[in-house]
Structure 1
Amino acid sequence: MNAVDLRLDHLAIAARYAATPEDWPVAPRFNPVDRWYHRLAVADDHEVWLLTWLPGQGTDLHDHGGSAGAFHVFAGTLTEDTVSIPAGGPARITGRELGEGAGRRFGSRHIHRITNRSSRPAVSVHVYGPALATMTRYRIGADGLEVLTVEKAGVQW
């Protein structure tokens, strides 16, 4: 059996941060207008973000600009909708609910959106490797997946 290198396992890193909230440099905050986020840590090969989600808050469909990653639900429940495009078929969205303690790894070509569809606030820890440089936002149109914008780190977030 091969050992997993926990330094490179984004979900293990997210779970480790979620297990020690007393070490976070800030306490989670909630913004009634939009989800709140704060970068907890940055290393040569990854970065760690803390996000909060009030009921109804979420992201658009997006990717992570070639970064792989993971997220761990620290509190509450989040729904992740992922996009798949079958050969010759229309884009399809599949939803999955993740409750407190659940997590999800994703690859560098992953397109998804995350939403708090519950009636309670949620908190999550996200890890991206390498650190995010860009994020592309999408919509599903008549011709399939369409690019809306490409956002750059340090400019749009």
Structure 2
Amino acid sequence: MQALVEFCRALERIAGSGASTGIAGARAAEAMVALIADGGWLPDAWAAPSDVRYQQHLLYLDRSARFSVVSFVWGPGQHTPIHDHGGLWGVVGVLRGAERSTRYDRGADGALTAHAPDLLAAGAVEVLDPAVGDIHAVTNALADRVSVSIHAYGGDIGSIERRAFDTDGTPRLFVSHYSPHPPMIEVLP
């Protein structure tokens, strides 16, 4: 758990710096590399999948909601819709398994254009910056195993309204919410 505490302390410094979304995301990515170097700190309860859909387990939420840290747990074949992050910067670090992330550009007419998917293996880190485009969809890249990634966002990702997109680019609002499991850390030591 000490690795997670140190990561959250780094995010506190980033959140207090007033950095732009791009700089905050880049700094958080540097800290994420150290966090996901060894996955032994994540207890099984926060790496538990669901048969119904991917799980978003809250690990820590800053008291002022300046950032949140979440474990995403993907069963075989589970995926997100095409979505954005509500104006928040984000960093994804693959802890176990692999994910396929497909980014999208949204044209002036609202239509989406997909980029070639990126395969993110264990140890990979991806930065999501709304200033340059953060629309994507994520899929567990493994057909026979669970994948786990650690996400950090520049706000409370489980309570903000975001947009999911139909394949034609039509947006609909949603809130992703956390699993009912309690946070791994309530208050930083």
TM-score, normalised with respect to structure 2: 0.67
Q: Which residue of 2 aligns with 1:98?
A: 120
Q: Does structure 1 retain, via aligned residues, the 8 Å contact 2:110–2:170?
A: no
Structure 2: 5+ residue runs without aligned partners? Answer: 1-9, 15-26, 179-189
Q: Which moved more, 1:65-74 or 1:85-94?
A: 85-94
Q: Are 1:151 and 2:175 matched, yes or no? A: yes
Q: Which moved more, 1:18-27 or 1:37-46?
A: 18-27
Q: Which residue of 2 aligns with 1:131?
A: 156
Structure number with the higher helix fraction is: 2
Q: Which residue of 2 aligns with 1:14?
A: 32
**SS at 2:47's partner residue?**
coil
Map of 1:58-77 to 2, 5 A cutoff?
A: 58-77=79-98
Q: Are 1:115 and 2:139 matched, yes or no? A: yes
TM-score, normalised with respect to structure 1: 0.79
Structure number with the higher strand fraction is: 1
Q: Which residue of 2 aligns with 1:48?
A: 69
How many Å separate the matches in 2 of 1:51 and 1:11?
17
Question: How far did 1:19 drift?
Answer: 4.2
Paired amino acid for 1:146: T
Question: How far did 1:64 drift?
Answer: 1.0
Q: Which digits, 9 at most, give the CA deviation of each residue in 1:54-112, with x for residues without a partner?
A: 11001001111111111000010100011013567952112111001001011124111
Q: Which digits, 9 at most, give the CA deviation of each residue in 1:105-138, with x for residues without a partner?
A: 1112411111013222100000000222222111
How many Å separate the matches in 2 of 1:10 and 1:90?
31
**SS at 2:30's partner residue?**
helix
How many Å separate the matches in 2 of 1:36 and 1:88?
33
Question: How far did 1:52 drift?
Answer: 0.7
**SS at 1:140's partner residue?**
coil
Q: Does structure 2 retain, via aligned residues, the 8 Å contact 1:139–1:146?
A: yes
Q: Which moved more, 1:42-51 or 1:58-67?
A: 42-51
Aligned length: 146
Q: Does structure 1 retain, via aligned residues, the 8 Å contact 2:106–2:113?
A: yes
Q: Does structure 2 retain, via aligned residues, the 8 Å contact 1:14–1:48?
A: no
Q: Does structure 2 retain, via aligned residues, the 8 Å contact 1:62–1:138?
A: yes
Structure 1: 5+ residue runs without aligned partners? Answer: 1-5
Root-mean-square deviation (CA), in Å? 2.4
